[in-house]
Structures are given as structure tokens and as C-alpha cells.
Structure 1
Amino acid sequence: MTYWEYKTVKFATSGFSGGKIDINKFNSILNEHGRDGWELVSCFDTNQSYGASRFVIAVFKRPIN
């Protein structure tokens, strides 16, 4: 049986109403986690009032040896 460990990473958005992320920084962080053995499982935004997204949450997993 495979056992997993999980990790969440929070990315802040920018812009007046939010929703914008620096795609180069985002890709860099995703690749860094991939090199460390983490697999991206899910990615979702957190909505504040009036639908503005302030954060993007990335969920990673990797097997426990």
C-alpha cells in the first residue's frame, strides 16, 4: 500500500480585483516542487467578497518512503 504526504502552497494574487498571478513565478515554484518529488494534485482559488480572488491554493502530494 502506498502512503502519501500532502502539502499546500498559497499564492497571492494581484490587481485591483485580484485574480492575477505572476505566471513565471508560479511555474518556477511548481517546477521546484516537482524536482523535490511533489506532484500537483489540485489548484483552486479563494474568493473574497464580490467574487474577487485573493489567493490560489496549490495542493501537492508525494509518496512516503
Structure 2
Amino acid sequence: MEKWEYKTIKIQLKGFQGGILEIEDFDDKLNKLGEQGWELVSCFSTNAAQGYGREAIAVFKRRH
């Protein structure tokens, strides 16, 4: 039976009201985790107010 392990990270969004993702920093984090065998499964932002987010949540998995 295949087994998986999961990892969840939070990325702080920038901007006065949030909602701005610094792509280069995010790509660096994704690439470092990818080198360790982690695969991105899902990514979403948390809702602070009026549709703006303060952080992005990224969920990864890899075979255990």
C-alpha cells in the first residue's frame, strides 16, 4: 500500500491590505521543496476582509 506524508506552509502576502504574492520568493520556496521530493497539491489564500488575503497556504505531499 502506498503511503504519503504531507507538509503545509504559510506564505505571508504583501501590500497594505495583503493579496500581493512575491512570485520570485514563492518560486524559490517551491523549488527548494521540489528538490526534496515534495509535490505541490493545493494552494489557496486566507480571506482577511473584502476579498483580500494575508497569507497563502500551500500543501505538499511526497511518498513516505
TM-score range, shorter chain: over 0.9
User: Please, which runs of 5 or more residues in structure 1 have no aligned partner?
Assistant: none
C-alpha deviation, 1:9, in angstroms: 0.6
Between Structure 1 and Structure 2, which shows a larger proportion of helix residues?
1
Q: 1:8, 1:29 → 2: CA distance?
A: 12
For 2:40, what is the secondary structure of its paired residue?
strand
Residue 20 of structure 1 corresponds to 20
C-alpha deviation, 1:40, in angstroms: 0.3
The one-letter code matched in structure 2 to 1:40 is: L
Percent of residue pairs identical: 53
C-alpha deviation, 1:23, in angstroms: 0.5
The one-letter code matched in structure 1 to 2:39 is: E
C-alpha deviation, 1:50, in angstroms: 2.0
C-alpha RMSD of matched pairs (Å): 0.7
What stretches of structure 1 move > 2 A for 4+ residues in a row? Answer: none
Residue 52 of structure 2 corresponds to 52
Q: 2:12, 2:45 → 1: CA distance?
A: 10
User: Please, which runs of 5 or more residues in structure 2 have no aligned partner?
Assistant: none
Q: 2:61, 2:20 → 1: CA distance?
A: 25
